[in-house]
Amino acid sequence: MILLYIILIPVLGALLSWLTAARNTALCRWIALCSLLLDLGIVTAIWLGNGAAENGWLYHLQAPWIPQFGISLHLAMDGLSLVMLALTFFLGALAVLISWREITTKTGFFHFNLLFVITGIAGVFLTMDLFLFYFFWEVMLIPMYFLIGIWGHERREYAAYKFFIFTQAGGLLMLLSILALYFVHASNTGVYTFNYFELLNTPMERTLAMWLMLGFLVAFLVKLPAVPFHTWLPDAHTEAPTAGSVVLAGLLLKTGAYGILRFVLPLFPAASQEFAPWAMLLGVAGILYGGQLAFAQPDFKRLIAYTSVSHMGFVLLGAFAFNELAYQGVVMQMITHGISTGALFMLAGVLYERIHTRELSRMGGLWPVLPGMGTVTMIFVMASLGLPGLGNFIAEFLVLLGSWQANRLLTVLAALGLVVATVYSLRIMQKVFFGQTERQYTLPDLGLREWLIMAPLVLVILWLGVYPQPVLKTVTPNTENESVKQKAESKKPTAGNLFAPNSFQHKKQPL
């Protein structure tokens, strides 16, 4: 039941904050914040309680929803879901905090949408029923559309449409694939079901499997985003309000990565193995292309947006490398990118509140005026270029170490991305904080609320950099789960023994 509570709490918070906003906007903000903190607390408690050494699935909930069609309310949590949820609620709470001053119009509806996006994301990370998964996938979409379209910057409507059309188009392809998988499975076994565990290892013709895999993959690649499906992202990130950018970059993109890890690879192991070189190539293309475009951008938020394209290339590269190192690197990358890019977007937002521009050419020389903010930015810029000691390094190093074993040439090219990352990251510091000021700014440095936001982010990125073991340990069982599935395809574990405790242990194979 706890899984259902995790999803219902933000829904309840969303409704409550919408209702109270008309009378008291402060109360509305507090409700939103508290509901997310409550969820964060629950997830942390689970993590501390039995996250670490547990094998397989921590919690599991299944109730019939539309039994005629084999649709059920099926939630389950493993290490991967757990860490992703922790990230979701952590960044979600910070997103509420960062909008404390920024959002003054339609506050209630804003928080309603924000919490609903987070609900959708949490649902995506928890659900084990493909129909329900699609449902949550769409739930994320519409509130996000409103967030961009209503509270965004100048070109918000264009960006919102673009975001919607891209993701919706990808989502529809995924829906087709889900349905096709559903019918293929039914024609094999006579059982109509959307249950993830039963659909695993559905025997399929090679070409059919490839097409269905591509259907799923396109949806996730659009969300990730991978070159050449990335062009919605710079617009959406740039035009969204700060909280929107944070949720987009920090969380929404991760659903794409999560989808690849959870669905594409296990459902279509052979097809994805076959497609792997191409997917890795797309990843590398993203790393280099996104990096170069980031370097060229004149707009602060747009620059950060393109760095996302570059960083998520590592996710794609690692996900299709098919080994544990790269897999754990990918999960680390999802988390650390969420934090570092989220933080950079928040800093861009905080800066925008002060100088009302995102143009890099109109900044510069802010270091003496905003030393605190400069230091925090420096930390996250360094995280973004993969400085050891900060979380992103662990992620990128593990991804590259893993992908080296899969494809050397592409890994070398991806490693060049580290140089490109240095080029664009240092450009941020130079353009924003160093150099001379033309205008005499007298701006307030980070306030208490802003420090309350930045301090946890800094601590977490440092913690992940020097002691990433808790995360790596938590996501280990799944890794073996994946790889075991890859290797022991012929054995076809049934749904029953998948939930048996330690069922993965005896199948452990050296990589």
Q: Write down the least CB distance from residue 7 to other proteins, Å.
A: 31
Determine if 419 is a binding residue for other proteins (CB under 8 A).
yes
Residues 258-297 that bind other proteins (CB under 8 A): 289, 292-293, 295-297
Nearest to 332 by CA among 481, 474, 510: 474
Residue 466, token pair as written in the block: 């020097």
Determine if 333 is a binding residue for other proteins (CB under 8 A).
no
Q: Choose one: 37-45, 97-105, 346-354, 397-405; the region binding other proteins (CB under 8 A).
A: 397-405
Closer by beta carbon to other proteins, 118 or else 222: 222
Q: Choose one: 39-47, 134-142, 214-222, 423-431; the region binding other proteins (CB under 8 A).
A: 423-431
Q: Write down the least CB distance from residue 163 to other proteins, Å.
A: 12
Quick check: bond before 228 cis, omega within 30? yes
In the block, residue with structure tokens 């989808």: 259
Residues 472-511 that bind other proteins (CB under 8 A): 472-473, 476, 479, 510-511
Left if phi > 0, otherwise alpha if psi is -120 to 50, otherwise beta: which for 322? left
The rounded Cα 103 to chain-centroid distance in angstroms is: 24
Q: Write down the least CB distance from residue 498 to other proteins, Å.
A: 22
Q: Write down the least CB distance from residue 421 to other proteins, Å.
A: 9
Judged on CB neighbours under 10 Å (0-12, 13-18, 19+), 510 is exposed
- The residues near 41 (Cβ < 8 Å, ≥ 6 apart) are none
Q: Choose one: 241-249, 257-265, 268-276, 322-330; the region binding other proteins (CB under 8 A).
A: 322-330
The rounded Cα 459 to chain-centroid distance in angstroms is: 20
Determine if 389 is a binding residue for other proteins (CB under 8 A).
yes
- 185, 230, 262, 337: which one binds other proteins (CB under 8 A): 230
- 64, 67, 298, 447: which one binds other proteins (CB under 8 A): 298
Residue 90, token pair as written in the block: 């952590």
Residue 75: φ, ψ to 5° = -115, 145
Rg (CA), the chain: 22
Determine if 397 is a binding residue for other proteins (CB under 8 A).
yes
Residues 430-449 that bind other proteins (CB under 8 A): 430, 433-436
Cα dihedral sign, 274-278-282-284: positive
Closer by beta carbon to other proteins, 48 or else 296: 296
Determine if 452 is a binding residue for other proteins (CB under 8 A).
no
The rounded Cα 371 to chain-centroid distance in angstroms is: 30
Determine if 12 is a binding residue for other proteins (CB under 8 A).
no
Determine if 415 is a binding residue for other proteins (CB under 8 A).
yes
- DSSP assignment of 326-363 equals HHHHHHHHHHHHHHHHHHHHHHHHHHHHHH---BGGG-
Instruction: Look at residue 268 and give its three-state secondary structure.
Output: coil
Determine if 81 is a binding residue for other proteins (CB under 8 A).
no
Q: Write down the least CB distance from residue 125 to other proteins, Å.
A: 22
- 388, 444, 447, 501: which one binds other proteins (CB under 8 A): 388
Q: Choose one: 32-40, 73-81, 310-318, 416-424; the region binding other proteins (CB under 8 A).
A: 416-424
Residue 73: in which H helix or E strand, if any?
A: strand 71-78
Q: Write down the least CB distance from residue 51 to other proteins, Å.
A: 16
Q: Write down the least CB distance from residue 409 to other proteins, Å.
A: 11
Rounded CA separation 326/18 (Å): 42
Q: Choose one: 4-12, 67-75, 108-116, 421-429; the region binding other proteins (CB under 8 A).
A: 421-429
In the block, residue with structure tokens 């394209």: 309
Instruction: Look at residue 411 and give its three-state secondary structure.
Output: helix
In the block, residue with structure tokens 């039994």: 67
- 382, 410, 457, 461: which one binds other proteins (CB under 8 A): 382
Determine if 329 is a binding residue for other proteins (CB under 8 A).
yes
Residues 190-229 that bind other proteins (CB under 8 A): 227-228
Determine if 69 is a binding residue for other proteins (CB under 8 A).
no
Per-residue DSSP letter, 433: T
Rounded CA separation 323/317 (Å): 11
Residue 228: in which H helix or E strand, if any?
A: none
Nearest to 472 by CA among 369, 384, 397: 397
CB atoms near residue 420 (< 10 Å): 20
User: Facing residues of 77 across strands?
Assistant: 59
Q: Choose one: 9-17, 58-66, 462-470, 484-492; the region binding other proteins (CB under 8 A).
A: 462-470
* Binding region for other proteins (CB under 8 A): 227-228, 230-231, 234, 289, 292-293, 295-298, 323-325, 328-329, 365, 367, 371, 375, 378, 382, 387-389, 393-394, 397-398, 400-401, 404-405, 411-412, 415-416, 418-419, 422-423, 426-427, 430, 433-436, 466-469, 472-473, 476, 479, 510-511
